[in-house]
A and B are shown apart, each in its own frame.
Chain A
Amino acid sequence: MNNAKILAERREFIGEGARGKSIACEKNSASGAVSQRACVYCGARVVLNPVTDAFHIVHGPIGCASYTWDIRGSLTSGSELFRNSFSTDLQEKDIVFGGAAKLAAAIEEVAETYRPKLIFVYATCIAGVIGDDVGAVCRAAEEKFGLRCIAVQSSGFSGTKSFGYRLACDALMELILPHKRPAGTRGLGVNILGDYNLAGEMWIIENYMRRIGVPVVATITGDAAYETLIKAPTARLNLVQCAGSMSYLAKRMEEELGIPFMKISFFGVEDTSASLLRVAQAAGGGEIVRRAERFTAEQEKKTNAVTAPYKKHLAGKKAAIFVGGGFKAISLIRQFNAMGMETVLVGTQTGQPEDYEIISGLVGPDAVILDDANPSELEAFMQEKGAQILVGGVKERPLAFKLGVAFCDHNHERKHALAGYEGVINFTREVHLSMNSPVWGYVSG
């Protein structure tokens, strides 16, 4: 271990080989260590932002709205409203006298001008500190204008990004609960939870469902709209794609709406096929299963035919992974394994003990596992372990390039799908094109 790069208090969050399975995690970030983590507001905004026809109003000073304006790749088949960033743009005097009146006026104006059905109000750090009663303002607006106006108390300091996911799930429950399926009626079709339609991934999954004959009721929240969201309680089954952000919603929907859920994953060929078959078995059996079998077999064949030529260029190479949550990291390790690549570094921003235990079982004995890693650690270990590609978010990209390491974007800004069979092809191609680019011959040579 490169000691100069590792803070004493960070040591317990890092493990090599067998030690990797019991590293510390789920703790506050070390101040000054340049954590890659974001905040509660970020988590809430990521989950809710794809709701296309909602007004997303940030109640706070301008920064939080400015940095989250239309930078994510969630696509829409309907309204483009969600691509805007609305902010109460609090000023010094609002901090002193309170911002609730400004928020109320803003909502009133939006309600009267646009007659929206749904508004989400994100209260950021300052709204929390100065004590604006955002909930009361929203409730009053609902009564006055007959719309849904839901407060998301997402002060950045009040927890981690995962807590933000939870707040978003609560906001969604608040939205759909009044639309309970009448007692005695049967649910029908499935909801898809935890896909954000980045580069059309929700559409890809919906197409699969159509091909195997399973109707989709609501998509949560990729390409979601008010009218479809409120139908969610009529579904018979919830499919959870991003378990990290949406398990909590699925659990609440199970307990309060009686909709069972199953976790699935559309990353990687095998997981995609297994998920489709499982959905078919749960949703209809019989003909639907037969169709799913046909469809997955056909797609696997097609996909493998496309990816096969890449494999010889990938086999034996070394990968580093630094992503937000444990499920994504695990899925990526398995995808690299399928390409014949070795994962030598794995880190997450918000992994849980079980994630790290699983990760340690999936990687080689020398791999390093890190929780809440910072740039210094990534730098030290990518070099020590000889990583040839890093999968991460855009903040890590320039670091990888400085170190002569290839890079793959696996975040919300990307413009190509990584889910489903199509996604496997895109991912394989992207890994190849970056890792085997001629530039490395000059840059690192």
Chain B
Amino acid sequence: MSGNLVNLNVNPCKMCMPLGSASAFYGIRGCMTILHGSQGCSTYIRRHMATHYNEPVDIASSSLTEEGTVFGGEKNLIKGLENLIRLYDPEVIGVATTCLAETIGEDVPRIVQDFRDSHPDLRASIITVPAAGYAGTQYEGFFRALRAVVAQTEQDAAPHNGINLITGMISPADTRFLLALLAETGLEATLLPDLSENLDGGHEEAYRNLPSGGTPLAKIARMAGARMSIEIAEFIPPELSPGQYLEENFGVPLRRCALPVGLRDTDRLLALLEEAGGRITPALQKQRRRYLDAMADSHKYNALVRAAVFGEPDFVYAVSRLCVENGALPVLTATGASSPLWQEKLREEVAPAAAYHMEENCTALDNCDFDLLEEQARLLGVNVLIGSSDGRRAEEHLDIPLVRCAFPCHDFVGGQRQRMLGYEGGLAFLDSVTNAVIHSRGRRYRGELFSKYYHKAVPPSPAPAPGPAPEPATNRREANASKSAVHPCFNGGGGDYAMMHLPVAPACNIQCRYCLRKFDCPNESRPGVTSEVLSPREGYEKFLAVKARMPELTTVGIAGPGDALADFAAVRETLRLIRAADPDITFCLSTNGLLLPLYAEELVEIGVSHVTVTVNALTPQMGARIYAHVDYLGENYTGEAGAAILLANQFAGLRRAAALGMVCKVNIVLLRGINDEAVRDITEKAKAHGASIANIMQMIPVPGTEFAGMEMVSHKDVQAIRRSCGEILPQMYHCRQCRADAIGKLGEDRSLYFRKVAALPAGADKTAGVLRFAVTSRGGMLVDQHFGQANEIYIYDYADGRVCYRERRGVVGTGGCGGAGGGKAAAEELSAKMEALMRAVDDCDAVLTMRVGEASRERLRAKGIDVRLTYDRIEDAVRDAGQASPGR
């Protein structure tokens, strides 16, 4: 179950049964495993095991196909058994099923019996285990395989002095520890399984594909006569327990214990071994005393530990007990398997630790996935994770250490060498947990205590102290201001930076009495004028084309020809397209301000850093003389009413834009006799509303407008007014009153050169003096295909040592040589293909191909097309062919 989703497992904290079975079989001597199912299962499991153990992991597959799935996979399984016997000559073969084989109802024991009957020379014992991935996790799969090994091996029940020691999935290094322990106690024992060598082998002179370690079947056959079985597993259901099987069928007494991690469980195992007649050596007693000493030494650090422990039920239980006895708190315990018994026992186990830590919320979860685990770990304030590499995402998200000590460990090295069993193993493991917590505390405590207790003035550079984040608009303001440096209008003269105006905003929502938007007059340079109106897509194309040719382009502006906000959708789309292609470009936009309050937020979102508002009036009365009408929210307003709306929105918009961190400029058009006396006041008011620069400019009278006859304010007067207003706001002295489609540095409009530019010139029309080559290629890099097999032809031109790709031509009439149908149909298809090929190379001087049939060669020759056989990189082949052509 997931933390956020009830119906989905989000990031599984478990693996499947076949993985467990395959792992268990790896501990049987001379055993090779085959999974009866589709190929992917064995490959995925091999990959998972190979990266953990760093050993070659060979697991065969019956490689079920569609046919096998529908009609039964018996044939595949038999063939598979024969093949793996040829290649590996195993003593034992583990046959584990998978989801697929179980679901289609394969009777594997019967198939295997038939196989034995039909292969009298068979040397290997075959063990079958049903392992549907949906019937349990790797934990169940592991024990199910062990039980199958014991139950399917003919047992010799003659009593002997030895004992059986049965384990779950423990590391090879821990397995070696158990073997050494058994030897030390002097007990004869059968360890089942024994992964110690097979999944952590040495480097040998000669490599053997079937590793030589593992529990021999001969020993397994005598398990029924042992004096006792000890099963190191607390939570396996009785029907999966090999020990239970031996007890029920042969009366071998079964003892159970948890994984011997830490004091209590190692004591318990040693007690059992002693009960079985083993000797507890002084060396072991010394190890125990050393463990006690370490418990005292580390207890204060261990009290800092709030661990989340996850993985197989036995692992989590044992590690939790280790924590508890050392005063650490396993505040969250989780397993992906389903086990109510486990949950109950863990609650019991953790209770005293919870009481000691006065923590009421300790949680134990079965059926857990990492989504839930992460969520709970966050809630519970976990400070260390203990489990497999699969916890690494939680480690990353929660920023707490993960101590890796279970399967799979595929992002670190040493999975096969993990140690946690016995006094020494437990201690080394506990140290790594304790040290992880000490390390992360050491890393953090200076910063944490600084922010907690240091309340004097804000220090100049509080390195680790996370002060309050600066207000976003402030950040943006700084970032935007810095962009002014490369904006030719805002940096005081352009320098080496160029801008372009994109005429994507044809509509306007007010009528100024001095303006006539006239769309095609390339000789006029004046705001509002443009030669073409572009769609957003075209505007974007034009940007790309210009940027490609003018790298100094730093700024894209929208300045009409209408109002940039009147039809905002087009402007928004244009700017979004450009932003996606170029994250660094500066956007500026000019508007009459009528809709600025409405769109200011969105402008910021798109990344517009500079906005210019043209404010010509101080009062509605003055405005009424300048604006003929104002279209606002579907209504047409004239006179003072319209002007009042416009003015109010201009200043409200300025205030909003400035508050959002945009760099705001006001344009003021000097209208003699109307506003020339009020310019200072307008500037003053604009400043009060957030403008940071002003551009005061002449009105350029346009024939056909109401103000066609108005006298322009002289340059001298303009300069005087600018100087006067300069006391209030910085002035833009360098304005060149650019067109709505201007491109270039200020005063150097190069838009003529870019008109109707095609961003990606197409066309494969051949020009004179150029050699054209048809190339056949499969991968597109090399001339690596037969002419007759080509389904596409690459066209290249060559001239004067230069090779140029032109296009790829599809060849209709696919099928290649000798189409599937055979007979007449195939012949027709072939001939259609040939015609298509001939058409495709019709305009070429030569064909470059790996091979060509005689018939094709003849036809090409008849058309005057040369053929060159080659196998080379296309460009090199074309160059060679071009240079070799006569007369070049």
Binding site for B on A (CB under 8 A): 5, 7, 9, 28-42, 57, 60-71, 83-92, 94-95, 102, 105-106, 108-110, 113, 125-126, 128-130, 155-159, 185-186, 188-189, 213, 215-216, 234, 236-237, 240, 243, 254, 260-265, 270-271, 274-275, 277-278, 281-289, 291, 327, 330-331, 354, 358, 361, 374-376, 379, 393-395, 397-399, 401-404, 443
CA distance A175 to B686 in the complex (A): 50
User: Which of B48-56, B442-450, B617-625, B859-867 binds A?
Assistant: B48-56
Q: Which residues of chain B come closer than 8 Å to A240, judged between CB atoms?
A: 780
CA distance A42 to B135 in the complex (A): 22
Q: Which residues of chain B come closer than 8 Å to A90, judged between CB atoms?
A: 134
4 other A-B residue contacts (CB within 8 Å) besides A156-B38, A188-B759, A375-B58? A34-B60, A66-B16, A263-B777, A358-B871
Closest Cβ–Cβ distance, residue B17 to chain A (whole Å): 8
Q: Which residues of chain B come closer than 8 Å to A91, judged between CB atoms?
A: 134
CA distance A358 to B58 in the complex (A): 31
Q: Which residues of chain A come closer than 8 Å to B55, judged between CB atoms?
A: 398, 402
Q: Of A41, A89, A215, A277, which contacts B12 at CB under 8 A?
A: A89
CA distance A240 to B780 in the complex (A): 9
Closest Cβ–Cβ distance, residue B630 to chain A (whole Å): 34
Contact residues, B33-63 vs A (CB, 8 A): 34, 37-48, 50-51, 53-63
Write 6 A-B pairs (CB below 8 A) sorted by A numbering: A32-B60, A42-B44, A106-B8, A157-B65, A330-B784, A358-B871
By the criterion CB–CB under 8 Å, are B40 and A38 in contact?
Answer: yes
User: Which of B82-90, B265-273, B670-678, B826-834 binds A?
Assistant: B82-90
Closest Cβ–Cβ distance, residue B627 to chain A (whole Å): 37
Q: Of A108, A110, A260, which contacts B808 at CB under 8 A?
A: A260
Q: Which residues of chain B come closer than 8 Å to A237, judged between CB atoms?
A: 760
* Contact code string B394-412 (vs A, CB < 8 Å = 1, else 0): 0000000000000000100
**Most chain-A Cβ atoms within 10 A of its Cβ — which of B10, B77, B81, B134?**
B134
CA distance A211 to B135 in the complex (A): 55
Given the contacts A126-B103, A130-B103, A284 and B548 also touching, CB distance less than 8 Å: yes
Q: Which residues of chain B come closer than 8 Å to A358, judged between CB atoms?
A: 782, 784, 871
Q: Which residues of chain A come closer than 8 Å to B56, judged between CB atoms?
A: 375, 398-399, 402
Closest Cβ–Cβ distance, residue B78 to chain A (whole Å): 8
Closest Cβ–Cβ distance, residue A271 to chain B (whole Å): 5
CA distance A262 to B64 in the complex (A): 36
Q: Of A125, A285, A403, which contacts B100 at CB under 8 A?
A: A125
B186 part of interface (Cβ distance < 8 Å):
no
Q: Which residues of chain B come closer than 8 Å to A36, judged between CB atoms?
A: 43
In the complex, which residue of chain B has the Cβ closest to the Cβ of A83? B393
Given the contacts A129-B103, A158-B66, A402-B56, A84 and B10 also touching, CB distance less than 8 Å: yes
In the complex, which residue of chain B has the Cβ closest to the Cβ of A129? B103
By the criterion CB–CB under 8 Å, are A62 and B15 in contact?
Answer: yes
CA distance A40 to B63 in the complex (A): 12
By the criterion CB–CB under 8 Å, are B63 and A28 in contact?
Answer: yes
By the criterion CB–CB under 8 Å, are A87 and B84 in contact?
Answer: no
Q: Of A29, A32, A88, A394, which contacts B47 at CB under 8 A?
A: A394
**6 interchain residue pairs of minimum CB distance:** A263-B780, A39-B40, A32-B80, A63-B16, A31-B80, A32-B83
In the complex, which residue of chain B has the Cβ closest to the Cβ of A443? B203
By the criterion CB–CB under 8 Å, are B209 and A375 in contact?
Answer: yes
CA distance A270 to B876 in the complex (A): 10
CA distance A260 to B56 in the complex (A): 45
By the criterion CB–CB under 8 Å, are B16 and A110 in contact?
Answer: no
Q: Of B65, B207, B209, B784, which contacts A354 at CB under 8 A?
A: B784
By the criterion CB–CB under 8 Å, are B807 and A260 in contact?
Answer: yes
CA distance A207 to B65 in the complex (A): 43
Given the contacts A157-B38, A287-B549, A265 and B100 also touching, CB distance less than 8 Å: no
Q: Of B37, B59, B390, B541, which contacts A188 at CB under 8 A?
A: B541
Q: Which residues of chain A come closer than 8 Å to B137, judged between CB atoms?
A: 62
Q: Which residues of chain A come closer than 8 Å to B785, judged between CB atoms?
A: 354
Q: Of B133, B209, B537, which contacts A376 at CB under 8 A?
A: B209
Q: Of B5, B86, B204, B794, which contacts A110 at CB under 8 A?
A: B5
By the criterion CB–CB under 8 Å, are B133 and A61 in contact?
Answer: yes
Given the contacts A32-B81, A188-B541, A61 and B760 also touching, CB distance less than 8 Å: no
B441 part of interface (Cβ distance < 8 Å):
no
B761 part of interface (Cβ distance < 8 Å):
yes
Q: Which residues of chain A come closer than 8 Å to B50, judged between CB atoms?
A: 394-395, 397-398
By the criterion CB–CB under 8 Å, are A271 and B548 in contact?
Answer: no
CA distance A379 to B46 in the complex (A): 17
By the criterion CB–CB under 8 Å, are A88 and B8 in contact?
Answer: yes
Q: Of A69, A126, A186, which contacts B99 at CB under 8 A?
A: A126
B429 part of interface (Cβ distance < 8 Å):
no
Contact residues, B1-16 vs A (CB, 8 A): 4-12, 14-16
Q: Of B16, B34, B40, B204, which contacts A32 at CB under 8 A?
A: B34
By the criterion CB–CB under 8 Å, are A60 and B99 in contact?
Answer: yes
Q: Of B60, B760, B780, which contacts A283 at CB under 8 A?
A: B760
Q: Which residues of chain A come closer than 8 Å to B84, judged between CB atoms?
A: 32-34
Q: Of A37, A94, A213, which contacts B134 at CB under 8 A?
A: A94
Closest Cβ–Cβ distance, residue B501 to chain A (whole Å): 20
CA distance A367 to B279 in the complex (A): 60
Closest Cβ–Cβ distance, residue B876 to chain A (whole Å): 8
B771 part of interface (Cβ distance < 8 Å):
no
B752 part of interface (Cβ distance < 8 Å):
no
Q: Which residues of chain B come closer than 8 Å to A327, judged between CB atoms?
A: 779
Q: Which residues of chain A come closer than 8 Å to B81, judged between CB atoms?
A: 32
Closest Cβ–Cβ distance, residue A230 to chain B (whole Å): 13
Q: Which residues of chain B come closer than 8 Å to A61, judged between CB atoms?
A: 16, 99, 132-134
Given the contacts A31-B62, A62-B9, A358-B782, A156 and B100 also touching, CB distance less than 8 Å: yes
CA distance A87 to B63 in the complex (A): 24
Given the contacts A264-B781, A379-B209, A31 and B83 also touching, CB distance less than 8 Å: yes
Q: Which residues of chain B come closer than 8 Å to A38, judged between CB atoms?
A: 39-40, 43-44
CA distance A92 to B338 in the complex (A): 13
Q: Which residues of chain A come closer than 8 Å to B537, judged between CB atoms?
A: 185-186, 188, 234
Q: Which residues of chain A come closer than 8 Å to B778, judged between CB atoms?
A: 243, 354
Given the contacts A32-B83, A67-B47, A126-B100, A113 and B4 also touching, CB distance less than 8 Å: yes
By the criterion CB–CB under 8 Å, are A63 and B133 in contact?
Answer: yes
Given the contacts A62-B16, A284-B760, A35 and B39 also touching, CB distance less than 8 Å: yes
By the criterion CB–CB under 8 Å, are A254 and B100 in contact?
Answer: no
In the complex, which residue of chain B has the Cβ closest to the Cβ of A63? B16
**Most chain-B Cβ atoms within 10 A of its Cβ — which of A31, A38, A243, A397?**
A31
Closest Cβ–Cβ distance, residue B38 to chain A (whole Å): 4
Q: Which residues of chain B come closer than 8 Å to A188, judged between CB atoms?
A: 537, 540-541, 544, 759-760
CA distance A331 to B780 in the complex (A): 12
Q: Which residues of chain A come closer than 8 Å to B69, judged between CB atoms?
A: 125, 128-129, 155, 157
